């Protein structure tokens, strides 16, 4: 299924990053909070539905995807990282897994299974106490 992530549907704000980082982390707002409203997006309805039913903690109850990126030193790199993570999340929801077809075990595999069970049973029988 073809879909395109529209940049104008994504909103982001720059915030200060958490954790250690010295003077730079205290002065510069290099972390990015990215927000993407799934319901208001131009994605196909099937992808929207699958995306909203996933149990991902980044999706709020209102159907908004919130991604925080703060691993890089620059705001541009963090924005790029957040956009890539959003793209990967949507691509994962767009992927439809192939349905598994149930198959019967072959006669030879059934025979091997039964022979293995008999062999294990015989081994366990040898471990029993001998009655005299």
Q: What is the pTM of this model?
A: 0.69
The pLDDT of residue 111: 97
List the one residue out of 56, 81, 58 whose CA is nearest residue 70: 81
Mean pLDDT for the stretch of residues 8-35: 80
Task: Please name every residue paired with 35 in a beta bridge, in sequence order, or none if there are none.
Answer: 11, 66
The pLDDT of residue 71: 86
Distance, first Cα to last Cα, the chain: 74
Q: Rounded to whole angstroms, how far apart are CA atoms 77 and 83?
A: 10
Q: Rounded to whole angstroms, how far apart are CA atoms 39 and 32?
A: 22
Mean pLDDT for the stretch of residues 21-39: 80
Q: Who wins on pLDDT, 81 or 4? A: 81
| Structural class in CATH, domain 7-94 | alpha beta
pLDDT by residue (tens digit) across 55-102? Answer: 888 888 888 999 999 888 888 999 999 999 999 998 998 888 899 999
Collapsed DSSP state (helix, strand, coil) of residue 86: helix
Structure tokens at 79: 């924005």
Q: Who wins on pLDDT, 42 or 86? A: 86
pLDDT by residue (tens digit) across 100-130? Answer: 999 999 999 999 999 999 999 999 999 988 8
DSSP single-letter state for residue 128: S
Q: Rounded to whole angstroms, how far apart are CA atoms 39 and 114?
A: 54
């Amino acid at each position: 299924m073809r879909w395109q992530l529209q940049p104008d549907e994504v909103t982001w704000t720059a915030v200060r990053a958490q954790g250690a980082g010295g003077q730079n982390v205290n002065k510069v707002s290099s972390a990015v909070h990215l927000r993407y409203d799934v319901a208001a997006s131009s994605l196909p309805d099937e992808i929207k539905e699958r995306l909203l039913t996933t149990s991902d903690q980044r999706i709020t109850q209102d159907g908004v995807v919130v991604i925080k990126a703060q691993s890089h030193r620059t705001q541009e790199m963090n924005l790029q990282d957040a956009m890539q993570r959003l793209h990967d999340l949507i691509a994962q929801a767009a992927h439809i897994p192939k349905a598994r077809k149930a198959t019967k075990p072959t006669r030879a595999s059934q025979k091997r299974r039964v022979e293995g069970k008999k062999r294990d049973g015989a081994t366990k029988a040898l471990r029993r106490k001998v009655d005299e």
